[in-house]
């Protein structure tokens, strides 16, 4: 009797394994088709045709992700063309890409896939061009999102739940480049972007903290915004106007000084002069004003 039970169990395992292998083979075939569409889009320079290819990419990606076991499939070939980045707690991953419909501008696309047996997918719609001066103060819900290409995701626990700090870059403007730290929480109704976890005052609402931290600077230069593991800090270039005109972000360049953030008691506390160097020259842009951070 036991032998029969084992035989039935073993046969069921083989069937499940065979089905899983078939699913993986099918996902791989879907990925191959998806990669061809992506390559065709990138090789095309006609905006209308790029948009058509992009819409096809979205449909093909969703179709592949609906397959059982898709979260455990790495999409390695697609990852050479798109950003596929996981949260550090592995609870979700983001498929993330951009297209240049006009010279020197970009539009961003993304989809969050949760780590679940049944597909739970949240599309992201770039609304960064609509926010203007209110970008640092906006809370974005549903599918609205400050478009960016992400290169790091860090999870932190707060009294309101897990908040993910998203490190991203946005080159939508023809003259300004942006790097940002965008907090995100996953709710029952989907992702919410923006949270007052940075101990820096908002320029538009001085009695409040910013909802997201944004560096804006001249498009032709490079500026740092990243995590430093040894000292457990986020570091970034302090920026100054190369023409002594702080009102024109497209003139901002790195000053040679670095500021940063350290996580303390549920907030990213601002640290001025993270790496102490010479003082700023006359006419340089002011550093961000801490809200009530312990380190400033």
pLDDT digits (tens, 9 = 90+) for 196-208: 999 998 888 888 9
Please check the confidence at residue 18 and state whether its pLDDT lies above 50: no
Please check the confidence at residue 24 and state whether its pLDDT lies above 70: yes
CA–CA separation, 143 and 191 (whole Å): 8
24 occurs within a structural domain: yes
47 lies in the same domain as 166: no
98 occurs within a structural domain: no
The two three-digit tokens of residue 86, written as one number: 């996981």
Percent of residues, the chain, with pLDDT higher than 70: 85
Cβ atoms of 250 and 218 within 8 Å: the answer is: yes
296 lies in the same domain as 151: yes
69 lies in the same domain as 149: no
286 lies in the same domain as 142: yes
Q: Which of 1-10, 126-135, 209-218, 232-241 has the lowest mean pLDDT?
A: 1-10
pLDDT in tens, 144-187: 999 999 999 999 999 889 999 999 999 999 999 999 999 999 99
- pLDDT band per the 50, 70, 90 thresholds, residue 113: very high
174 occurs within a structural domain: yes
CA–CA separation, 30 and 24 (whole Å): 10
Model pLDDT, residue 204: 83
Tokens 């035989």, located at residue: 7
- Domain coverage including residue 285: 128-296
Q: Which of 45-49, 102-106, 118-122, 186-190 has the lowest mean pLDDT?
A: 102-106
Question: Total structural domains in the chain?
Answer: 2
pLDDT in tens, 52-63: 999 999 999 999
pLDDT in tens, 258-280: 999 999 999 999 999 987 655 55
Please check the confidence at residue 292 and state whether its pLDDT lies above 60: no
Cβ atoms of 50 and 41 within 8 Å: the answer is: yes
Please check the confidence at residue 119 and state whether its pLDDT lies above 50: yes
Per the prediction, the chain carries an average pLDDT of 87
Model pLDDT, residue 2: 41
Q: Which of 53, 73, 93 is the last residue of a domain?
A: 73
Q: Which of 58, 73, 88 is the last residue of a domain?
A: 73
Model pLDDT, residue 13: 35
31 lies in the same domain as 167: no
15 lies in the same domain as 147: no
């Amino acid at each position: 009797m036991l032998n029969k039970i084992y035989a039935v169990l073993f046969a069921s395992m083989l069937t499940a394994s065979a089905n899983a292998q078939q699913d993986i083979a099918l996902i791989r075939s879907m990925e191959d088709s998806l990669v061809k569409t992506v390559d065709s889009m990138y090789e095309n320079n006609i905006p209308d045709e790029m948009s058509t290819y992009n819409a096809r990419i979205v449909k093909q990606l969703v179709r592949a992700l609906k397959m059982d076991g898709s979260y455990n499939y790495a999409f390695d070939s697609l990852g050479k063309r798109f950003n596929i980045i996981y949260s550090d707690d592995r609870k979700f991953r983001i498929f993330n890409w951009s297209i240049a419909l006009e010279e020197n501008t970009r539009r961003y696309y993304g989809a969050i896939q949760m780590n679940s047996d049944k597909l739970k997918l949240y599309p992201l719609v770039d609304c960064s061009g609509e926010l203007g001066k209110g970008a640092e103060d906006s809370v974005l819900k549903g599918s609205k999102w400050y478009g960016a290409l992400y290169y790091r995701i860090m999870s932190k626990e707060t009294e309101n739940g897990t908040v993910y700090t998203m490190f991203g870059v946005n080159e939508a403007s023809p003259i300004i480049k942006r790097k940002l730290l965008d907090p995100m929480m996953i709710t029952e109704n989907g992702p919410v972007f923006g949270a007052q976890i940075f101990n820096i005052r908002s320029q538009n609402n001085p009695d409040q903290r910013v909802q997201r931290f944004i560096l804006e600077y001249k498009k032709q230069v490079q500026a740092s915004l990243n995590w430093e593991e040894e000292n457990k800090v986020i570091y970034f270039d302090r920026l100054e106007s190369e023409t002594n005109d702080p009102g024109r972000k497209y003139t901002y360049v790195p000053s040679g000084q670095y500021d940063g953030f350290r996580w303390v008691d549920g907030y990213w506390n601002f640290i001025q002069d993270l790496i102490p160097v010479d003082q700023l020259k006359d006419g340089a842009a002011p550093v961000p004003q801490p809200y009530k951070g312990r380190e400033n």
